[in-house]
Structure 1
């Protein structure tokens, strides 16, 4: 963390932009829990580790129904957590980040829960 801070300061001094992580904010912890749950984590692990070629393959690796997996992945895409790369007729889910940090605590005014 300290090194990252020093790098950010150096970039600012050099007149370069400092990247800010993508953030998704939920109205409350209940909504956060509805999106990020054990099923979601399993899907993200499958995408990251197995690199499935399609939604159907993602469902097969996760041992789940294709329709339900499609719905959950569509929600994650809308939130910017994953993206889909087209491969012919298939949509390949991709987790384009190094890490996912979830904080159920508000970091500003109001009752919110953030995912970074």
Structure 2
């Protein structure tokens, strides 16, 4: 079973993005360990069932925004737009998409909204077969 960190308090926080199905066994194992009083690494997962949502996450412009937010910690949307050298309205729209997908949060910062992320890395799991080992043709 893969882990998302170490015992260190500086462990990398990984957001697992899955398409079609979640890692229920990992979630159940984590919940059982918590119930047993074990110290477990945090586990963050976001599951999408719509290919368009997955596409929104992986679009180069949105990935650039996520990387910039994580690295630069901008104070607001205008600063974010300046850092990526893009129009404020476009960046505002893209950040709204990322917020609706649950990938960023906004913190009120005076008169502006500060985009934030709580993870360091995104891992994308894109299964080509269903859980029975068959090609998933339900949406084809």
* Structure 1 pair 23–31 and aligned structure 2 pair: CA distance change class (3 A): closer
- Which has the larger share of helix? 1
| Aligned-partner Cα distance in 1 for 2:68–2:39 | 36
Aligned with 2:67 (options 45, 51, 62)? 45
Aligned with 1:86 (options 105, 108, 112)? 108
* Structure 1 pair 32–13 and aligned structure 2 pair: CA distance change class (3 A): same
**Which stretch shifts more, 30-39 or 92-101?**
30-39
Structure 2 residue matching 1:85: 3-state secondary structure: strand
Question: What is the aligned partner in structure 2 of residue 14 from structure 1?
Answer: 37
Q: TM-score, normalised by structure 1?
A: 0.73
The answer to whether the 8 Å contact 1:32/1:104 transfers is no
Structure 2 unaligned segments of length 5 or more: list them.
Answer: 7-25
Count of residue correspondences: 110
| Aligned-partner Cα distance in 1 for 2:53–2:101 | 13
* Structure 1 pair 35–93 and aligned structure 2 pair: CA distance change class (3 A): same
The answer to whether the 8 Å contact 2:56/2:62 transfers is no
* Structure 1 pair 10–31 and aligned structure 2 pair: CA distance change class (3 A): closer
Structure 1 residue matching 2:44: 3-state secondary structure: coil
* Structure 1 pair 44–10 and aligned structure 2 pair: CA distance change class (3 A): same
Q: TM-score, normalised by structure 2?
A: 0.62
